[in-house]
Chain A
Amino acid sequence: QKEVEQNSGPLSVPEGAIASLNCTYSDRGSQSFFWYRQYSGKSPELIMSIYSNGDKEDGRFTAQLNKASQYVSLLIRDSQPSDSATYLCAASSSGGSYIPTFGRGTSLIVHP
């Protein structure tokens, strides 16, 4: 059974700090990894995708992938109260079923 594990939180950080969100996955065949942000009452919004080991930066967001450790992380620099949301990690395989498996999400609270 493919699983994606996340700490449900909440993770509370002060405004301006770095928020670090972590995710592990069970399927070694996973090739594609995604971070979604979901505000309360809204649908998930894709914020980052990463396909190879290392770091990928996009603005204040950095996704990190370590396939050997089956570990994915998302760093949010200069956190803002508007970043307060639930962050969902997802993984999908390149062969066979491409359907992503989602984690339960980590609730992030950025307080002023």
Chain B
Amino acid sequence: SAVISQKPSRDICQRGTSLTIQCQVDSQVTMMFWYRQQPGQSLTLIATANQGSEATYESGFVIDKFPISRPNLTFSTLTVSNMSPEDSSIYLCSVELSGLGTEAFFGQGTRLTVV
């Protein structure tokens, strides 16, 4: 497995502002993902964070709204930009260790409330 540190664990933000969420892994990993989980819902993939290149975004998510950085194989950030109350959600960092579709592990999550 992997130890994944995600911060902040929660935040309350004003609409129109931006929040950057950090994800640090204790080992080098090939695949890092960012998910959103709205109350009572399952996990929605926002994007795959690619080391050294632009993230790959899923349908409905764009780089201007959710810019992602991945400067190395152990660290990534997700920024939620120009926030609105609809962005209130739990954001989760996830890693898959082998790059071959084996188990994925999650960070502790960031509970974001936009007021």
Contacts and interface: CB of A to CB of B under 8 A. Distances in A.
B96 A98 contact: yes
A71 to B, nearest CB: 18
B42 A104 contact: yes
B109 A43 contact: yes
A43 B102 CA distance: 18
Contact of B101 (A41, A88, A98): A98
A19 to B, nearest CB: 19
Contacts of A41: 111
Contacts of A42: 108-109
B101 A94 contact: yes
Contact of B43 (A31, A45, A46, A102): A102
B70 to A, nearest CB: 15
Interface residues of A, number: 22
Contacts, number: 49
A38 to B, nearest CB: 9
Interface residues of B, number: 23
Max chain A C-beta neighbours (<10 A), residue from B41, B100, B101, B106: B101
Interface of B: 1, 31, 33, 41-43, 45, 48, 90, 92, 96, 99-109, 111
Interface of A: 31-32, 34, 41-46, 49, 88, 90, 92-94, 98-100, 102-105
9 contacts: A34-B103, A34-B104, A43-B92, A43-B109, A45-B106, A49-B102, A94-B100, A99-B45, A100-B104
Given A44-B43, A99-B31, 16 more contacts: A34-B103, A41-B111, A42-B108, A43-B106, A43-B109, A44-B106, A46-B1, A90-B104, A94-B100, A94-B101, A98-B31, A98-B96, A99-B33, A99-B45, A100-B96, A105-B42
